[in-house]
Amino acid sequence: MNRRRSNIEIIGDMLRVGENGAGKTEIMYSVNMSYSQLQKYLGFLVGHGFIDRLKMGNPSVTYQVTEKGLSLLKSIETVLEVLDLDEMADFK
The predicted pLDDT at position 60 comes to 83
Asked if 70 and 86 touch (Cβ cutoff 8 Å), the reply is no
In a domain, 87, yes or no: no
| Per-residue pLDDT at 78 | 93
Which CATH number fits the domain that encloses residue 41?
1.10.10.10
Is 2 inside a domain boundary?
no
Q: What's the pLDDT at 90?
A: 55
pLDDT of residue 52: 95
Q: Helix (H, G, I), strand (E, B), or coil: what is residue 50?
A: coil
Residues (pLDDT < 50) of the chain are: 1
- 89 within some domain: no
In a domain, 86, yes or no: no
Domain extent for 40: 7-81
Identify the pLDDT of residue 83.
Answer: 83
Domain total of the chain: 1
CA–CA–CA angle 64, 65, 66 (5° rounding): 115
